[in-house]
Amino acid sequence: MEKKNRRIALIPAYMPSDNLAGLAQELKEQGCSVVVVDDGSGSEYTHVFEKCTESSVVLVHKYNKGKGAALKTGLHFISKTFEPPYTVVTLDADGQHSVKDALRVSEEAENHPAALVLGCRSFKGTDVKVPRKSLLGNKITKTVFKLSSGLNVSDTQTGLRAFSDRQIQWMCSIGGERYEYEMNVLMECAGEDTEIREIPIETIYIDNNSSSHFRPVGDSARIYKEIIKFSASSLICFALDYLLFCLFSILTGQLVVSNISARVFSAAANFELNRRVVFGSKKSAGKSAAQYFALAVFILVCNTLLLKLLVTVTPIGRYAAKLITETAMFVLSWTVQKTVIFRRKEEISE
C-alpha cells in the first residue's frame, strides 16, 4: 500500500490529444496522485501515454471497452493501491475541465464525504459557444433524469465528479460500460438517496468539442435504454389496458368496473415484462410480485380516482381522460419500480 493521499485524479482517455500529459502534470503539481486509463487508444497514441507516465500511473486496456469500463478499471486500481481516507476526482481527457475546478470539486467532496459532487457547467449567460449537440444532449438527459428520478441536476453529462473512498466499491457495482455508466450512477444515487451536490465550474469547449468520442445515436440509446425499455413495456401494456377498458366499457357500461378489470390483466403482463426484460431482476418472483402488486393497487386507486375526477369535473370525455390519467401515473410507476421493487443494490447484497 502506498501512503495515503488526500486527492486522486482519475482520467479515462480514448485517443486523447497531446494536452493530456500537461493536464496530468499540472494535477500532480497541485498535490494530486494521477491515474490515467488508456482505453484501447492504439499504437498511434503511445507517445501521449508515455509522456503521461512522467506524472501519473497509466493503466492500459488492450482494446476499447468504453468510458464506464475505464472508470471502473481506475477505481479498482485505486482501491487496491491507496490507503483511505482519500478523495477521487474524475476528469475528462478532452481538456474541458480545469485543474482549478477539479480542486474545488475535490474540496467539496472532502467536506461532504457521503455525497457525490458534480462540477456543473453553465449553459446560459456565458460567452463560450456551446456546441449544439452538447447543449441539446444535456437538455434531454436533464429532462429525462428529472422525470425518472424526481431530482433536478443542472449538468447530468459532466465528467468532473468527486467522491470519497467509501463510495468506490458501490460505484464499481453499478452497471454500464460506456457513456451510460455516468447516468446510471446518478440514477443509483437517486435510488439510494445519496446526496448530489453541485459546484459551478468554467464552461470550456476546445475546437468545438471535436475531440469528443460521444456517438449521438448509439451512446444516447445506451444512456436511455432502460428508460426506453420501460417506456416500451408500459406502452404495450397501456395498449392492452386501453383496449380491454374500451371492451369492458362497451360490454358493461360501468366505468369503475371496466377500469379495474382492464388493469388486473395489464398489470400481470407488465410485471412479467418489467421483471424479465426491463430490469432483469434476480430477486425472487414472489417478493417482487408482492411489492409490485402493492404498487399496482396504490396506482389503481390513484388512477381510478383521477379518472373519475376528470370525467366528472371536465368536459374531455372518458377516453381522453383515460389517456391523461395513464400519462400521470407513468413517472410514479417508473420511480418506485426502479428504486424499490427491482432495485439493483438489493440484488448485489443478496
Domain 7-214, CATH number (from 3.20.20.150, 3.90.550.10, 2.40.110.10, 3.10.28.10): 3.90.550.10
Q: Measure the CA dihedral 284/288/289/295, to 10°.
A: 180
Residues 6+ apart with CB under 8 A from 265: 240, 241, 244
Placement of cell 388493469 in the chain: 263
46 alpha carbon, distance to own chain's centre:
32
- Which pLDDT score, from 0 to 100, does residue 222 have? 57
pLDDT at 211 > cutoff 50: no
- Which pLDDT score, from 0 to 100, does residue 12 have? 95
- Which pLDDT score, from 0 to 100, does residue 346 have? 39
Burial class (CB in 10 A: 0-12, 13-18, 19+), 30: middle
Backbone phi and psi for residue 238, each to the nearest 5 degrees, phi listed first: -65, -40
pLDDT band at 215 (very low <50, low <70, confident <90, very high): low
- Which pLDDT score, from 0 to 100, does residue 213 have? 47
Instruction: Count the neighbouring beta carbons within 10 Å of the beta carbon of residue 28.
Output: 16
pTM: 0.65
Whether the CB-CB separation of 138 and 156 falls below 8 Å is answered with: yes
* Averaged pLDDT score across all residues of the chain: 81
Q: Which helix (H) or strand (E) holds 336?
A: helix 318-336
Q: What is the pLDDT of residues 106-122, one digit of tens each?
A: 999 999 999 999 998 87
Q: Where are the domains of the chain?
A: 7-214, 227-349
Tell me which residue of 71, 66, 67, 2 sits closest to 35, measured CA to CA: 71
- Which pLDDT score, from 0 to 100, does residue 234 have? 75
* Whole-angstrom Cα Rg for the chain: 24
Q: DSSP letters of 41-92?
A: --GGGHHHHHHHTTTSEEEEESS---HHHHHHHHHHHHHHHBPSS-EEEE--
pLDDT at 348 > cutoff 50: no
Pairwise CA distance, residues 194 & 196, whole Å: 6
Pairwise CA distance, residues 78 & 80, whole Å: 5
The one-character DSSP state at 39 is: E
| 39 DSSP β-pair partners | 61
Pairwise CA distance, residues 234 & 228, whole Å: 10
Q: Measure the CA dihedral 168/171/173/176, to 10°.
A: -140
